[in-house]
Chain A
């Protein structure tokens, strides 16, 4: 087993690996470490706090169940957990949109997109993320924020921003690459 450099503050990776061995106290610590991000992201995407609580609960129970399958070679525990969270939240948003279409209501999302952008800009924590977003062009930034926090698909983003589909696809990739380089996210 690897030695823990600072036993007082284990990382998400270490906690997840302990949880994989059935260590419930370690899992509780992992919850404390990651729950704000999981809940905050869910809430940002689905808006409804009650739904966000449900997603948070589902995500953590899945994390516990599948902790044994976490492979640190494929990415960090934080990324594993937040990727799962985002996908759940987006599924919830799209399932809601589908059922409202079935009910023949206009398939409208609760929030107008400019409020997604506005709120995001004012509430983002972390200087580094905010600064790096500033380095993007408006189109790059809006594409990423609408997809990630708004839970919109790229064809929806294309409609909202009134740009061609291939452009949106390309912008999403460009801007993530630029963010990656700016954040130094990948050593």
Chain B
């Protein structure tokens, strides 16, 4: 175990890590069961500090919350494993089977997210989210896509590395693909390799796909995806 990383558990539980170290710690956390237990304990301890400064909010907050809640749909619960049967992928996705899913794991996040300024940028917020998970896939033809997503935030950070040049008048475009295999544009166009982009409106069951499209992007993909990886 990396002793130095391990000592970050306290600062992490206090949300006191700058974004790059939060990302590093989050990665370490995914692989370190002892750290997960420690962080859970220290967050429980921090909770007592929060409870100790309780203060009654004005009644208008309650009204606003209950009214908003009345009009807000809840995200679906995770299905029990026995019911979790994979839907047969539709044609568009099936073609991407060639794209190798690398699976969850460590990636060079810190290189891309490095930002020594203390404030959290949107990328760092996703990476540091308590429920952040990462997956990765290689693109047909080269390059790699890494997705770090947070269900609580409904956002994903998509890191693209070593993409081959898209070609004249072409860009890479990201898609969110729902569990029925329907793609919708993630409104992210990538011109060059080494980009980190935040995708919002990610729903449970979504996958992230990437294609090459004419400059300016397309409404619907014009080619089979170069890679697909799970988002949520």
Contact = CB atoms under 8 A, between A and B. Distances in A.
Interface of A: 20, 22, 24, 27-28, 31-32, 35-41, 43-44, 52-53, 56-57, 60-62, 64-69, 74-76, 78-79, 82-87, 90-91, 94-95, 97-98, 101, 120, 123-126, 128-130, 144, 147-149, 151-157, 166, 168-177, 179-180, 183, 185-186
B47 A35 contact: no
* Interface SS majority for chain B: loop
Contact of B10 (A75, A83, A94, A174): A174
Q: Which 6 A-B pairs have the closest CB atoms?
A: A173-B10, A94-B119, A40-B55, A98-B119, A172-B10, A39-B57
Contact of B49 (A28, A36, A62, A148): A148
B118 to A, nearest CB: 4
A148 B152 contact: no
Given A87-B129, A98-B121, 4 more contacts: A24-B70, A39-B54, A87-B15, A176-B10
A39 B53 CA distance: 9
B16 interface: yes
Contacts of A147: 11, 14-16
Contacts of B131: 69
A79 to B, nearest CB: 5
A172 B14 contact: yes
Contact of A39 (B55, B117, B120): B55
Contacts of B8: 169, 173
A75 B7 contact: no
Contacts of B61: 35, 39, 53, 56-57
Interface in B41-91: 41-58, 60-62, 64-66, 68-70, 72-78
B193 interface: no
Chain B CB within 10 A, most for which of A31, A66, A68, A172: A172
A87 B16 CA distance: 10
Contacts of A31: 62, 65-66
Given A44-B53, A147-B11, A173-B7, A179 B48 contact: yes
Given A24-B70, A176-B10, A125 B117 contact: no
Given A20-B77, A66-B152, A155-B18, A173 B69 contact: no
A86 B152 CA distance: 14
A123 B54 CA distance: 10
Interface string B14-57: 11111000000000000000000000111111111111111111
Contact of B118 (A68, A78, A156): A156
A97 B57 contact: no
Given A173-B7, A180-B44, A61 B65 contact: yes
Contact of A74 (B40, B50, B55): B40
A68 B42 contact: no
A177 to B, nearest CB: 7
Given A20-B77, A91-B125, A94-B118, A35 B57 contact: yes
B9 interface: yes
B50 A41 contact: yes
B65 A90 contact: no
B13 interface: yes
A41 to B, nearest CB: 4
A69 B10 contact: no
Contact of B44 (A36, A75, A125, A174): A75
Contacts of A87: 15, 128-130
B62 A153 contact: no
A83 B43 contact: yes
A144 B14 contact: yes
A74 to B, nearest CB: 7
A36 B56 contact: yes
